[in-house]
């Protein structure tokens, strides 16, 4: 194989690997918590195929008072005030307790890498939990019966799959989750692609000089 095909093969390979990384930004809001003496938001992150994804929780706003924080598995607190969930463990969990809160809003920043062949998608679920029992305090129409408020799975298709569930019975609380970024972004050239293009150009120039 001469220099020109090798250069363009390298460019294509690096361009493909550069395009595999994607991410999503999700805004989550819940309101109508006044009827509850305290609220616990639970975040469960389930690993389906080994370490490949993470969820960063930040921009937490509430009119309540923050209480205890519980971290399990690949969950950790950030020095910037947020919380990181990594799939370094099969099960990672974060629980945030608030008292006197009527509303809570926060931002989720996720990676969205596809699962390995034959493996399962990484999954995040958010719950409203009872402080005394640790069980969901709202029954939802989540099909597996976990009573999650929302779920997100890493598909590798850009942002992942986001589902918002509704209550099975009337409850005072309401919640929403929406993507903040364009669901179909136009990819920009990354550093690997630019580097490969430059190498291809150099090899092409060198080959043409030799042939002249």
Amino acid 37: pLDDT: 75
Query: How many whole angstroms separate alpha carbon 123 and alpha carbon 12?
Result: 31
8 Å CB contact between 87 and 51: yes
What is the pTM assigned to this prediction? 0.76
41 pLDDT higher than 70: yes
CB atoms within 10 A of CB 180: 12
- Cα–Cα dist 125/120, whole Å: 15
Structure tokens at 91: 């099960």
Which are the contacts of 71, defined by CB distance < 8 A and separation ≥ 6? Answer: 77, 83, 93, 94
User: Average pLDDT in the 98-105 region?
Assistant: 95
| Three-class DSSP category at 10 | helix
Q: Which of 148, 38, 45, 57 is nearest to 97 (CA)?
A: 38
What's the rounded Cα separation, in Å, for the pair 48 and 76?
20
Q: Is the pLDDT of residue 48 over 90?
A: yes
Average pLDDT over residues 175-187: 71
The per-residue pLDDT for 36 is: 78
Angle (CA) 166 59 39, round 5°: 50
Q: Measured between alpha carbons, how far is 27 from 58 in angstroms, rounded to an integer? A: 10
Mean pLDDT of 18-34: 82
**Of 186, 189, 107, whose CA–CA distance to 152 is shortest?**
107
* Helix residue ranges, H only, 20-106: none
Average pLDDT value for residue range 76-104: 96
DSSP 78: -
Does the pLDDT at position 76 exceed 50?
yes
Q: How far apart are CA 134 and CA 19, in angstroms?
A: 41
CB neighbours of 106 closer than 8 A, spacing ≥ 6?
27, 28, 57, 58, 59, 60, 61
């Amino acid at each position: 194989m001469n220099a020109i095909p090798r250069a363009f093969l390298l460019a294509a390979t690096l361009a493909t690997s550069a395009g595999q990384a994607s991410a999503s930004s999700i805004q989550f809001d819940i309101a109508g918590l006044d009827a509850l003496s305290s609220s616990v938001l639970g975040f469960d992150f389930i690993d389906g195929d080994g370490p490949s994804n993470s969820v960063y929780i930040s921009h937490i706003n509430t009119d309540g008072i923050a209480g205890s924080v519980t971290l399990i598995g690949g969950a950790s607190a950030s020095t910037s005030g947020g919380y990181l969930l990594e799939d370094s463990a099969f099960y990672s969990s974060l629980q945030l307790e608030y008292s006197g809160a009527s509303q809570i809003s926060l931002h989720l920043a996720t990676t969205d890498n596809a699962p390995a062949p034959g493996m399962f998608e990484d999954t995040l679920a958010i719950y409203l939990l009872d402080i005394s029992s640790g069980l969901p305090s709202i029954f939802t129409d989540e099909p597996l019966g976990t009573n999650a408020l929302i779920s997100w799975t890493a598909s590798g298709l850009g942002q992942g799959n986001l589902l918002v569930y509704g209550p099975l019975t009337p409850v005072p609380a309401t919640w929403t989750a929406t993507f903040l970024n364009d669901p179909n972004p136009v990819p920009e050239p990354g550093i690997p692609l630019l580097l490969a293009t430059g190498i291809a150009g150099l090899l092409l120039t060198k080959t043409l000089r030799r042939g002249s």
